[in-house]
Structure 1
Amino acid sequence: MSRLLLYPFYLLFCFFSLLSGIQTDDLQILMKLKSTFLQTSNTSAFSSWESSNSMCNFTGITCNSDNFVTEIELSNHSLTGVLPLDSICHLQSLEKLSFGFNSLNCPIMGELKNCVSLQYLDLGNNFFMGCSVPDISSLSRLQYLYLNGSKFSGTFPYKSLQNMIGLAHLSLGDNPFNPLPFPKEVLKLTNLTCLYLCSCSIQGTIPAEIGNLKELIYLGLSDNIMTGKIPIEIGNLVNLRELELYNNSFTGKLPVGLRNLTKLEVFDASLNYLEGDLSELRFLNNVVSLYLFENNFSGQVPSEFGKFKKLVSLSIYSNSFTGALPQELGSLAKFDFIDASENFFIGPIPPNMCKQGTMRGLLMLQNNLTGEIPASYANCSTLLRFRVRNNSLSGSVPAGIWGLPNVNIIDIALNRIHGPITSDIKNAKFLVQLFAENNRLSGELPAEISEATSLISIYLNDNQLSGSIQQLPTSLLSFLISNNRLTGEIPHSICNASFLQLLDISNNSLSGKIPKCLGNFCDNLLVMNLQMNNFHGTIPDTFANCYQLRTLVFNGNQLEGLLPKSLVNCKNLEVLDLGNNKINDRFPYWLEALPNLHVLVLKSNRFYGPIGNHNTSGIFFPKLRILDLSHNEFSGLLPRYYFENLNAMMINEDSKHEPQYLGEIFYYQDSVVLTVKGLEIKLQRILTIFTTIDFSSNKFEGEIPKELGRLIILRLLNLSHNSLTNHIPSSLENLSQLESLDLSSNRLTGQIPIQLTSLTFLAKLNLSRNKLTGPIPQGKQFGTFENDSYYDNLGLCGLPLQINCSTNDLLPPPLLLIFEEDNDSIFASGFSWRVVLMGYGCGFLVGLAMGCVVFKRGSPQWLLRFVEGDRNGKMRRHNNPRSRKRRN
């Protein structure tokens, strides 16, 4: 009987013993988990995980009433290494497992099949690169699944979702899965409230069955490969508050069903190909953020938008909207951001946008806005970004705008705004970028600008500013103030701008010497453009550390002396323009090894001596496309070696790509002035496929090398005003892209090669002032050239000249060939064609007299011997192989 009384206590003892054993197992699993992570992670997450403490008090651990582990919450704890699921899933009561926002990586140890009680699984935002998603088919109780942003690959097992009928949150986005159509298994999860499938390679259309997910509050399908129209059934999602469809290829108009989404707060359909108007959005009274930029929408912005009391952000840039923006937008109490750039809006800037005191960003670039900047904006103390670039605004800037206390960006460029920059700018303590180029601003640059201590970009080029540059902020990265009326010297304060990257003070009236300190911050400098000023002295030899320098332009000053050899260290230099100075030096052959040099302009200086043909080996200007050495005193032969090695003029590597331009660096653009088809033209942008060689107005002599024919993509060639001799090489027919050829004012002889008629792009030809002979080739482009192309070549005949070619003119007479063979010595000694013609006249009279004598008295033997002897001499000359080769 006593045993029976003790039996219940025995069973109770066994139960608690078993329970204690289970709890002991949970503790052992947690301690093993700690040990695993501490081997690879530097984290304090496990500081409380001591066996002396209750495991239910460990950081990130939650237990149930029976003290079993139900939750592990270790998100965002700097964990690294592998995930040991093989031990974690032995926690029999585990319902929540969260390791999101860590740095866990492959391989995943073990499987999830034993975690059958899981209702919440978060492995998102880790680095499981190369891993497939672990098997989740056994997790039928799962309600929250977050695998987003963990770089899982392979094919996601959507079929494993079909048993998870209670799933409410499904987040698989931002993983490089294999492309698949929209998964049908997802469309059966009718309890879903959140579906995040952005950036996980979903392709094809949105199925109409999306309307079945009527509990959805959030739907994200952005950054995929989706096409087609937005289905009308999306209007069934009446509980939807966020709809993200951006960066796909959706087409067509917005569906009528959108008007049913009256709870919608965020709608983002930007970066698609949607079209039509926005009439279907007039009923979204609860919308807070509306993003529709970079589509093909048109028409006017509905006036109903001005009644959206909760509207905070509106971004509709890069569409085709017209008309005026609704004035009512300015009365919205919470409205703080609008980007309506790159449309066709007209009228003034809405004057009341800043009246509510909430406006942070007003961006209306590239429209057709007119009128003045509203005076009310001068009091817009909350404004961070004010950008109205490229409109037709006029008037002056309200003084207070220059000194808005919180503004980061002021961009009023490319308008018709006039007036001064006021000293209020000193109050703009947070101003980072000031863009006011291409306006009519006048007055002096205020010294107070140096007190805007956050300012890194100043773009004031193409205005009417005058006076001197006084002080500059030391924080500057970009300073562009070209095309103004500035005088004085470069201020010494520029030496303190040690992070300067862009410096363009060209086209002013600045003077003095170039400060040597500009080389002190050469580590960062990308562009130095000082052209068209009055700087004098020598170029500082301070370029030893200018490894990043891409553009150096000193054109149009009074600089003299030698070219600094430290430029050879500028390995990234693309444009070097030193034209129109007084530099007195030999050709800088040491520049030829610069691997990225595209443009070399030395025109109109005092360079002298021969170029090229020196005893060196290796690379010769591998990327050079523009070479202008005109108007110097270079002499000797043309540089045959260069013509053999200018690879960038031989192969058109850029023809398969979109047009590219040199020096495009955040609103700065490289330019160059060249003689194009006889006129000096400024190329505002330099195409990388543009090629030209200009050696005109020097003292080059000898023949034109046939190697020029290797430069098959050359567009402009100017060798005029030299002392070049011999024939025009027929190899020039290979220059199939040539548009302008100027060989005028030389001593070229022989005929114009008929092969040049194959140059179908040739629009300008100048062969005047030479000693060319024979008929002018006919056909194709040669039919378009006027007399000026051939002026002062007495031996030419045929159209467009008025000199007809006789049959004998088709081949040069033997006498002319003799003259051609020795033309250098003959013409150099003063012999001219006038003498030749006089000789022909005298010879004709003597021949006529001799004919009369022969006719009356017979053939004198002395005359026959003289004539026969001369004939034999000529025959011997014609049989001379050397003579025959030269003639041909």
Structure 2
Amino acid sequence: MGWLSWFCLLFLLSTTCQFNSTCSSANSSSSLSSGHLCHPEDSSALLQFKNSFSIDTSSKRELYNGTILFSNRTISWQKGKDCCAWSGVTCEKMTGRVISLNLLFGGLQGNIHSNSSLFSLGHLKRLDLSSNDFRGSPIPSKFGGFVSMTHLDLSYSNFSGPIPSEISHLSTLVSLNLSQATVTLDTLSLSRIVQNLTNLRELNLDNVDMSLVVPDSFKNMSSSLKTLELSRCNLQGKFPESIFHRPNLRLVDLGYNYDLTGYFPESNWSSPLEMLDLSHTRISVDWHHLTRNLKSLRDLSLSNCSFVGSYLACLGNLTQIMRLDLSFNSFGGHIPWSLFLNLESLVYLNLAYNNFVGQFPEVDSNSTSNSSLYDFSKQPLVGPIPRHLTKLILYENQLNGTIPSWLGSLPSLEELYLSSNQLSGNIIEFQSRSLSVLGLSDNKLDGLIPRSIFELESLHYLDLSSNQLSGNIIEFQSRSLSWLELRNNKLHGLIPRSIFELENLHYLDLSSNQLRGNIIEFQSRSLSGLYLSDNKLDGLIPRSIFELEKVTDLDLSSNNLSGTVKFGPKLQSLMELNLSSNHLSLSFNHLSNNTWPQLRSLDLSSCNISEFPYFLRAAPNLDTLSLSHNRIQANIPKWLLDLGKDSLGYLDLSHNSLTGTVGPLRWKNLYYLDLHNNSLQGELPIPSPSTSYIFISNNQFTGEIPPTICSLSSLQILDLSNNKLSGKIHQCIENFSKSLSVLNLRNNKFHGVIPGTFSEGNVLRNLDLNGNQLEGSLPQSLLTCRELEVLDLGNNKIQDTFPNWLEYLPKLQVLILRSNKFSGEICFPKTKFPFQKLHIIDLSHNRFSGLLPTKYFENLTAMINSQEHGLKYMGGRYYQDTVVVTIKGFEIEMKKILTYFTIIDFSNNTFRGEISSVISKLKSLKGLNFSHNELTGRIPPSFGEMSNLEWLDLSSNKLVGDIPEQLVNMTSLSKFNVSKNQLVGPIPRGNQFDTFENDSYSGNTGFCGLPLSKTCSAPHQSPPSSFQQEDDLEHGNGFDWKVVLMGYASGVVIGISVGYLVLSNGTPNWLVKVVGRKKRRRIMKITK
């Protein structure tokens, strides 16, 4: 069952108590009736039975009521002593015959054979062999020979195979428990059990595989039936409705039979049912009939039953309800607090994974007892503070507002889960001494962690991750804390010593904070998950970490840790290791080939290693390997290509110095392959059809793209840019994968035409064919690419007119057609709002003619509205779009494109006519280049309104008149070029114009004034400068627009804001080009 219900526990405990009470009475009776000792045949049979097993006497188990069971109960079984006094043995008073045997958790290890002496105990009425280890042996059919048996429990003892039909011979059985995951039951055997066991009151077959059972076989169950437990049995089909009408039925558990269907009775009837679990089934329930007919219900679980809407009011009829689980449904609206708070017996409430909204009710400040609650609108009274509540689970809803203080004062509260909502404000103080579980993760909580949380002595689970909490972590008082998760906050300071001293700590995640200091030795030997990544920790990694025998996940990445790491052989359970982006030296030499046989994920990127870790040869189940950004200078070894053929899914060897050719890629389940930025050569390697992401750019691969690429039907991103590939682009390349979103073939030697095979419904977002030798015209099938955002066809030989039909693409943001053979005039738009999202357009170095397309300029919405609200880049989590643009006369490769970065470049064409003032409406424009055309007329004075413009190039045209004085208001302008025109008059002074050099104005004989040597007559002298000239153009109101350049650091992309250019004397002082691309680093964690 998903949650062990109260009544399952009560039945289990009552059964145990029955055995225990019988034992105690038998022991007392044997001492009183000294004339009737244990029958010698039974004593001998018991000793033979014991001696047929090896017995683990060192284990112990705590029951739900706190009772401790030890696996040493057969120690008292000694020859020569009365077996009626042995632990777990009960005898009949008069005859001395053994009638009850309770070896629950008896430590038995071995097989039970059909000739076992156990079956000679013919007077047995009760037998409990649960929780032992019978090593997968079948259940002997001789269990059917106990003709007087009333109670039989073989649960969870590692039997296997089919349940023998002879069990149905136990006609006197009252209680039968065969639950365990390794046995099966068919329809015939079940039908016999149902038919013959007419006195059966308790039937537990949890986890038994009944996939071959027809559920209708249960319809003739005994009318005496009180308990029916069939959870996780793979039952399929319609469950008989008549079962629910059994007059004595108290408990029904059908949970987690995902394909079980049927209907809960809707007729008027009364049932004594107290516990009902239909979780994760497809049984239909009518709320009104359920709550009207089952008024005795104390435990109701309807998790994941596909309920929708907001019809919970009828739950008020369930006045006896103690435990209510409605999680994983689609209930919506406000939580009916008045209903729940007036259910006086309710101690457990689970509404997780629904769509509830609203806020918590608040304490009535006018109440003298301070015990009443109002709803969030302070209108109607909701009800009393639920002081009886022990467990409240509301995670994964849409609750907002603050956490109410009354929750912290509930005296009986044991577990509180409010994770994954929209709660804000500070965390409240908690006063309950019994609070052991607190989950508030994935909200908007801020401020300090309250001191009271650190002082909760019963706390064993705390998850405050993914909030905005700040301050220090102070010492914990609880010594039982086993799960601590504070990741993704703003916590700083040192990790408190008490955390390292927690002996029961199982899981620790403090990643993505600002913690500093050293990691000290851990006292816990049971630690299985340790995540300290993305902090500021320094110093050495303590040796004890590599001696944690139970640790499965170890992530210390992205810190300042140093020293030499010598891996030890004790990490036998290790499955995931991430030490990337530190200052470590790694030593593998002393590792054997079988060091970490369970290893699944290894990330040693940016670890300064120079060779492939040889111990990986013994990691057959590896699914994730990242060795990027290292100094490995070698061929990819054959053993690596044979590694994890059936398991490897993620491989990143980028940013090394790998050489040679790449052999066949045989990984069947590979979905991510990254080999970019190496020196690999030869034919292009094509991975398995399961691959979704391929990054092989910046290598030296040659030849044509193999046709096998057309088999990659799951491909989403293909980046083969900056290689030496040639030939024609396959016709299938845009059509073989319906999920292809990025195709980047930039800077290769492809020729021929662009395939015209783009199909309807494709999701192509970025098509980059720049820098090839493609020719012909653009295929109009590009119109089917409704998701297209980036189209870069620059630097080819495409011969066509302007493709104005592209204006129909609703998401197009970047259009690069530069350096082709496009020609002709750009006609009027065909739509009312063309190119609404376009913010980079480069038509330079073509043969366009005619007037500037003013009608298009009027409707470039993305350039009209300035939206510089935070750094937001184009692209997804695996791939960031790049583009090469001309900025201030220099070609710059932008490794990331800001969504508000706007450029128009129409230079080096034969456009004519005047420049329209309409362009001044493009308020967010950063760069405008109309140079090397045949434009005439004056410079529009309205250009001065473009306050965001950083460079303006109108050089090499036929412009006349003077430079409008209004241009002085362009305070972001850092590059201005009107050279080689026919302009006259004084050069304006002030602001940015005090910084421009002579070459901005050369070739205009009519200019005068600074910075030229030619002076102007006094009447025409420009007013004195109000702007102090600076040598550094980025001071004051000068050029200050920033671009984020990318580089790898610890598997996490770090943006560094730098200026595009610093100009001096018309030439750049520096130019930075970096080669990072943001990619996902898969972080795996223990499933709670």
Q: Under TM normalisation by the shorter chain, which class is it?
A: 0.7 to 0.9
What is residue 102 of structure 1 aligned with on the other side? 305
Give the gaps of 5 or more residues in structure 2: 1-220, 229-235, 255-269, 364-370, 373-382, 1023-1088
- Kept in 1, the 8 Å contact 2:738–2:762? The answer is yes
Task: Tell me which of 200, 225, 243 is aligned to 1:49.
Answer: 243
Once residues 714 and 318 of structure 2 are traced to their aligned partners in structure 1, the CA distance between those partners, rounded to angstroms, is: 59
Change in Cα spacing, 1:142 to 1:539, as seen in structure 2 (3 Å) is closer
What stretches of structure 1 move > 6 A for 4+ residues in a row? 160-166, 200-203, 372-375, 808-811
Once residues 197 and 762 of structure 1 are traced to their aligned partners in structure 2, the CA distance between those partners, rounded to angstroms, is: 51
What is residue 536 of structure 2 aligned with on the other side? 320
Once residues 603 and 534 of structure 1 are traced to their aligned partners in structure 2, the CA distance between those partners, rounded to angstroms, is: 17
Is 1:792 matched with 2:1006? no
- Kept in 1, the 8 Å contact 2:549–2:570? The answer is no
Task: Tell me which of 765, 774, 779 is aligned to 1:550.
Answer: 765
Once residues 672 and 587 of structure 2 are traced to their aligned partners in structure 1, the CA distance between those partners, rounded to angstroms, is: 24
- Kept in 2, the 8 Å contact 1:113–1:139? The answer is no
Once residues 790 and 178 of structure 1 are traced to their aligned partners in structure 2, the CA distance between those partners, rounded to angstroms, is: 60
Q: Letter of the 1:738 partner, please give it.
A: L
How far off its partner does 1:275 sit? 2.2
Once residues 58 and 363 of structure 1 are traced to their aligned partners in structure 2, the CA distance between those partners, rounded to angstroms, is: 48
* Secondary structure in structure 2 of the residue aligned to 1:516: coil
How far off its partner does 1:617 sit? 4.8
- Kept in 2, the 8 Å contact 1:339–1:364? The answer is yes
- Kept in 1, the 8 Å contact 2:322–2:348? The answer is yes
- Kept in 1, the 8 Å contact 2:441–2:466? The answer is yes
How far off its partner does 1:395 sit? 0.1
Is 1:334 matched with 2:550? yes
Alignment of 1:606-685 (within 5 A): 606-613=821-828, 616-652=830-866, 654-655=867-868, 657-662=869-874, 664-685=875-896
Task: Tell me which of 477, 482, 485 is aligned to 2:700.
Answer: 485
Q: Deviation string for 1:380-422 (max 9, x for gaps)?
A: 3311111233x24230222563884212211222333332222
Once residues 50 and 184 of structure 1 are traced to their aligned partners in structure 2, the CA distance between those partners, rounded to angstroms, is: 40
Q: Letter of the 2:566 partner, please give it.
A: P
Q: Deviation string for 1:522-581 (max 9, x for gaps)?
A: 532111111111111111111243631111111111111222222122222111111111
- Please report the RMSD computed on the Cα atoms of aligned residues, expressed in angstroms: 3.5
Task: Tell me which of 391, 411, 421 is aligned to 1:189.
Answer: 411
* Secondary structure in structure 1 of the residue aligned to 2:865: coil
Once residues 392 and 634 of structure 2 are traced to their aligned partners in structure 1, the CA distance between those partners, rounded to angstroms, is: 58
- Kept in 2, the 8 Å contact 1:441–1:465? The answer is yes
How far off its partner does 1:376 sit? 3.7
* Secondary structure in structure 1 of the residue aligned to 2:287: coil
Once residues 224 and 529 of structure 1 are traced to their aligned partners in structure 2, the CA distance between those partners, rounded to angstroms, is: 39
How far off its partner does 1:481 sit? 0.6
How far off its partner does 1:659 sit? 1.9
Change in Cα spacing, 1:240 to 1:756, as seen in structure 2 (3 Å) is closer
What is residue 586 of structure 1 aligned with on the other side? 801
How far off its partner does 1:443 sit? 1.8
What is residue 502 of structure 2 aligned with on the other side? 284
Q: Letter of the 2:409 partner, please give it.
A: L
Is 1:602 matched with 2:817? yes
- Kept in 2, the 8 Å contact 1:81–1:103? The answer is no
Once residues 559 and 461 of structure 1 are traced to their aligned partners in structure 2, the CA distance between those partners, rounded to angstroms, is: 24
Is 1:266 matched with 2:483? yes
Q: Letter of the 1:115 partner, please give it.
A: T
Task: Tell me which of 422, 432, 437 is aligned to 2:637.
Answer: 422
How far off its partner does 1:234 sit? 4.2
Q: Deviation string for 1:234-271 (max 9, x for gaps)?
A: 45543432233334444332233x1x322221122233
Q: Deviation string for 1:627-677 (max 9, x for gaps)?
A: 21211222222222222222222111x22x322222x22332211112211
What is residue 727 of structure 1 aligned with on the other side? 938
Q: Deviation string for 1:176-232 (max 9, x for gaps)?
A: 556454443763525x5444454577766556562xx33444344444565544444
Change in Cα spacing, 1:702 to 1:123, as seen in structure 2 (3 Å) is closer
Paired positions, count: 752
* Secondary structure in structure 2 of the residue aligned to 1:323: strand
* Secondary structure in structure 2 of the residue aligned to 1:430: coil
How far off its partner does 1:514 sit? 0.9
Once residues 350 and 923 of structure 2 are traced to their aligned partners in structure 1, the CA distance between those partners, rounded to angstroms, is: 59
Is 1:698 matched with 2:909? yes
Is 1:437 matched with 2:654? yes
Calculate the TM-score normalised by the size of structure 1. Answer: 0.77
How far off its partner does 1:751 sit? 1.9
- Kept in 2, the 8 Å contact 1:339–1:362? The answer is yes
Is 1:253 matched with 2:472? yes
Greater helix fraction, Structure 1 or Structure 2 = 1
What is residue 446 of structure 1 aligned with on the other side? 663
Change in Cα spacing, 1:264 to 1:576, as seen in structure 2 (3 Å) is same
Q: Letter of the 1:284 partner, please give it.
A: L
Moved more, 78-87 or 379-388: 78-87
How far off its partner does 1:135 sit? 3.5
How far off its partner does 1:166 sit? 6.5
Q: Deviation string for 1:105-131 (max 9, x for gaps)?
A: 542364546734x55444455444235
- Kept in 1, the 8 Å contact 2:347–2:388? The answer is yes
* Secondary structure in structure 2 of the residue aligned to 1:709: helix
Q: Deviation string for 1:114-167 (max 9, x for gaps)?
A: 734x55444455444235146356655555555555555664599589797766
How far off its partner does 1:771 sit? 2.1
Once residues 620 and 689 of structure 1 are traced to their aligned partners in structure 2, the CA distance between those partners, rounded to angstroms, is: 18
Once residues 594 and 172 of structure 1 are traced to their aligned partners in structure 2, the CA distance between those partners, rounded to angstroms, is: 43
Q: Deviation string for 1:481-500 (max 9, x for gaps)?
A: 11111111111110111221
Once residues 745 and 617 of structure 2 are traced to their aligned partners in structure 1, the CA distance between those partners, rounded to angstroms, is: 28
Once residues 797 and 50 of structure 1 are traced to their aligned partners in structure 2, the CA distance between those partners, rounded to angstroms, is: 101
Once residues 733 and 570 of structure 1 are traced to their aligned partners in structure 2, the CA distance between those partners, rounded to angstroms, is: 38
- Kept in 1, the 8 Å contact 2:361–2:404? The answer is no
* Secondary structure in structure 2 of the residue aligned to 1:362: strand
Once residues 779 and 177 of structure 1 are traced to their aligned partners in structure 2, the CA distance between those partners, rounded to angstroms, is: 56
Calculate the TM-score normalised by the size of structure 2. Answer: 0.64
- Kept in 2, the 8 Å contact 1:661–1:685? The answer is yes
Once residues 426 and 274 of structure 1 are traced to their aligned partners in structure 2, the CA distance between those partners, rounded to angstroms, is: 44
Give the gaps of 5 or more residues in structure 1: 1-26, 35-41, 62-66, 812-888
* Secondary structure in structure 1 of the residue aligned to 2:857: helix
Q: Deviation string for 1:259-297 (max 9, x for gaps)?
A: x32222112223333322122313201111112223332
Change in Cα spacing, 1:360 to 1:60, as seen in structure 2 (3 Å) is closer
Q: Deviation string for 1:442-462 (max 9, x for gaps)?
A: 221221x1x101011111111
How far off its partner does 1:50 sit? 6.7
Change in Cα spacing, 1:750 to 1:375, as seen in structure 2 (3 Å) is farther
Once residues 361 and 585 of structure 2 are traced to their aligned partners in structure 1, the CA distance between those partners, rounded to angstroms, is: 54
* Secondary structure in structure 2 of the residue aligned to 1:567: helix
Is 1:344 matched with 2:560? yes
Task: Tell me which of 274, 278, 281 is aligned to 1:71.
Answer: 274
How far off its partner does 1:712 sit? 2.5
Q: Letter of the 1:620 partner, please give it.
A: P
Q: Deviation string for 1:752-809 (max 9, x for gaps)?
A: 2222222111111222222222222222212111111122222222221112223587
What is residue 774 of structure 1 aligned with on the other side? 985
Greater strand fraction, Structure 1 or Structure 2 = 2
What is residue 562 of structure 1 aligned with on the other side? 777
Once residues 272 and 308 of structure 1 are traced to their aligned partners in structure 2, the CA distance between those partners, rounded to angstroms, is: 25
Moved more, 490-499 or 267-276: 267-276
Change in Cα spacing, 1:585 to 1:73, as seen in structure 2 (3 Å) is same
How far off its partner does 1:602 sit? 1.4
Once residues 403 and 234 of structure 1 are traced to their aligned partners in structure 2, the CA distance between those partners, rounded to angstroms, is: 45
Percent of residue pairs bearing the same amino acid type: 38
* Secondary structure in structure 2 of the residue aligned to 1:87: helix
Once residues 617 and 410 of structure 1 are traced to their aligned partners in structure 2, the CA distance between those partners, rounded to angstroms, is: 50
